[in-house]
Amino acid sequence: MLEKLNELEQRALAELDQVADAQELQNWKVKHLGRSAEVGMVLEGLRELPSEDRPAVGRRVNEVKSSLEKAYASKENVLRSNELVHSLTEERLDVTLPGLSPARGRIHPSTQTMRHIIRIWAEMGFQVYRSREVETDEYNFGLLNFPPHHPARDMQDSFYTTDPEVILRTHTSPGQIRVMRERAPEPVRVVLPGMCFRHEQITARSEIQFNQIEGLAVGYNITMADLKGTLIAFARRFFGEDVRTRFRGSYFPFTEPSAELDIECFVCGGEGCPVCKRTGWLEILGSGMVHPTVLENGGYDPAVYSGFAFGMGPERITMLKHGIEDIRYFWANDLRFLEQF
């Protein structure tokens, strides 16, 4: 048995000397070090040998396996070195060939819509005003005519900080108070874009974070007719000159009277489809005349000044414009969705 092991070792080493490339080396490894290698078969047959011969044969089997493994590692290093030398001396890189262009990022679809909306309002004479995302309860609710324990507060479940008087803003409307207090008694005409946060159940139609664009105009003799004309002008610039619009009465604590603006569904042309829930109309924003209490809290005399306000969601408008059925796509970072825009 010992002679057989010596012969096996010499034959395996002789074959290893003839190996010229990585594939041949792998074949050699399978043959001599794999599960069905002869060395392993000898080890499995130890139980058939006389007990006095087993220790010597077992030792020799381990020695042969160790010898072959070392020879394999050495041969592998030699082949790798040869391949590297060949690559450096024989292969050439054509630097004139065009390289692989990395994938370029694009502007998020929600940001695209926000920029389009803001550009239209800028053309209509509205300035951009950025307000803080972390607000006090007073600015987010109290100064906007939400008294403590008012049922309307339940419309906007809030994220509170460790200080119960400090929250993540639930809408961009607190910016109305801030910009009015900065500029009173001068007239104001601004849009206030930014992120809002609400502690809501995440569904296909609602998220815990979303963008909003607030609009505010305060001055002399501003009427509901000004509000309607301004919003209709915006809708025609954004959706096209032929878009049909309608106003519906609504309720917001900080405006009186309040209304929501609908546009004719551009998917079905007003005939009714799943996108418009078979109504033929799509809601795009809420609006109204600034409540006298809010004007007063902002530093304006409601007997002298009047104004209108509106709020729209870029994600909502993007969903309507492109027929997107799930708002969660905007924040899932799925490139299959984002690359379409």
| Res 33 pLDDT > 80 | no
Fold exhibited by the domain 109-338: BirA Bifunctional Protein; domain 2 (3.30.930)
Tell me the average pLDDT across 317-340: 83
Q: If we measure between CA atoms, which residue out of 311, 297, 300, 299 comes closest to residue 139?
A: 297
* β pairing state of 188-197 and 127-128: parallel
175 or 16: which carries more pLDDT confidence? 175
* pTM exceeds 0.75, yes or no: no
Report CA-CA distances (Å) from 259 to 140, 247, 254, 334. 21, 6, 12, 36
219 or 37: which carries more pLDDT confidence? 219
Confidence of residue 230 (pLDDT cuts 50, 70, 90): very high
Q: How far is Cα 129 from Cα 136, in angstroms, rounded to an integer?
A: 18
pLDDT, tens digit (0-9, with 9 covering 90-100), for 97-155:
888 888 788 888 899 999 999 999 999 999 999 999 999 989 999 999 988 877 666 66
| Res 162 pLDDT > 90 | no
Question: Which runs of E-coded beta strand occur in the chain?
Answer: 127-128, 134-136, 159-160, 166-168, 188-197, 209-219, 245-252, 255-264, 281-290, 306-312
Tell me the average pLDDT across 210-220: 95
97 or 187: which carries more pLDDT confidence? 187
Domains of the chain by residue range = 2-90, 109-338
| Residue 82 confidence (pLDDT) | 85
Confidence of residue 7 (pLDDT cuts 50, 70, 90): confident
| Residue 53 confidence (pLDDT) | 64
